[in-house]
Amino acid sequence: MAQRGQSDAAGRTPRAPAENASEITTPMPAIGGNGLRDRARAIPEAAVARLAVYLRVLSGMREQGVGSVSSEELSVAAGVNSAKLRKDLSYIGSYGTRGVGYEVEVLIDQIERVLGLTREQSVAVVGIGNLGHALANYGGFPGRGFPVTALFDVDADLMGVPVGGIPVDHIDDIPTVCAAREITIGVIATPPASAQAVCDRLVQAGVECILNFAPVVLQVPETVEVRKVDLAVELQILSFHVARRADSAPDVDAPAPRVNGLPRNNGVVMPR
């Protein structure tokens, strides 16, 4: 046991029991032409999450002037198994050169293409509390940005006040503003009580992808994709590990917690 990502086990909450396959596959035979389209449909969600991580690492490498990487190097920097990395990359096509590795630039382009980052996504943040502020200012982060182009709240005192350069609008204006600014992703950072109402408004405004920070199970039509980040849940999972650890501590003669003197992620220059 060592480092665990946030994922791999959280609360998927499918409203539609059918078609909640973790494989993102639109059951649809290959269309004639190039295979890229088809490939893109078959990428497992787990792989998508990792691709985003690779992209971040690659961006860092590009900034340091690295021209090409082997799967081994990249996998270490990203904290995954190299076979898994190669398999993930194979989902998006074959852009490596055998005997050499991958060209950083090419890989970045391809991952961005698959993740749909070539077309900039406009993000709306609803709920301008502490978290909302943090999100609004998150502006340009590694590997190109998701421009936050709309902010909403109920508090009359906030109306028009620019936060991170964007003026705050009233949540009643969600439909019009979202339509005007072509919002594709909505972020809910409101108190739990108002989350569902806000969500409904976003959906009504045509937003089909929502990132929910409120500790509530949102009810949405099947066409809408919701991902949730629940701080309390994260802490509770960690708490579980603390407890488990304390529990097994008495087990003194367990296999020695071997130091990390593994031959692996050594030497590599990690972006500190």
Residue of 79, 86, 93, 154 interacting with its own copies (CB under 8 A)? 79
The residue from 10, 106, 154, 159 that contacts its own copies (CB under 8 A) is 10
- Interface residue with its own copies among 116, 139, 160, 162 (CB under 8 A) is 116
The Cβ of residue 142 has, within 10 Å, a number of other Cβ atoms equal to 13
Q: What one-character-per-residue DSSP string does 84-128 give?
A: HHHHHHHHH---EETTTEEEHHHHHHHHHHHTT-SSPPPEEEE--
Considering beta carbons, is residue 51 or 168 the nearer one to its own copies?
51
Site membership for DNA, residue 100 (CB under 7 A): yes
From the list DNA, its own copies, none, partner contacted by residue 77 (C-beta under 5 to 8 A by kind): its own copies
Compute the Cα dihedral for 63, 66, 68, 74 and give only its sign: negative
Binding mask 70-99 for DNA (x = CB under 7 A): xxx-------xxxxx-xx-xx---xxxxxx
- In the bound complex, what is the minimum distance in angstroms from residue 18's beta carbon to DNA? 8
Binding of residue 58 to DNA (CB under 7 A): no
Residue 223's φ and ψ, nearest 5 degrees, are -75, -15
Which helix (H) or strand (E) covers residue 165, if one does? none
Q: Which is nearer to DNA, 50 or 201 (CB)?
A: 50
Q: Residue 129 CB, nearest distance to its own copies (Å)?
A: 7
Place of tokens 């408004």: 201
272 binds, among DNA, its own copies, none (CB under 5 to 8 A by kind): its own copies
Residues in contact with 14: Cβ distance below 8 Å, sequence separation at least 6, in sequence order: 20
Name residue, tokens 């090409």.
68
Residue 86 interface partner, choices its own copies, DNA, none, CB cut-off 5-8 Å depending on type: DNA
Q: Label the pairing between strands 101-103 and 68-69.
A: antiparallel
Contact yes or no for 75/69 (Cβ under 8 A)? no
Residue placing its CB nearer to DNA in the complex, 48 or 205: 48
In this structure, how many other beta carbons lie within 10 angstroms of the beta carbon of residue 152? 28
The region of 63-71, 96-104, 152-160, 177-185 touching its own copies under the rule CB under 8 A is: 177-185
What residues line the site for DNA (CB under 7 A)?
Answer: 8-9, 12, 14, 17, 20-23, 44-47, 69-72, 80-84, 86-87, 89-90, 94-102
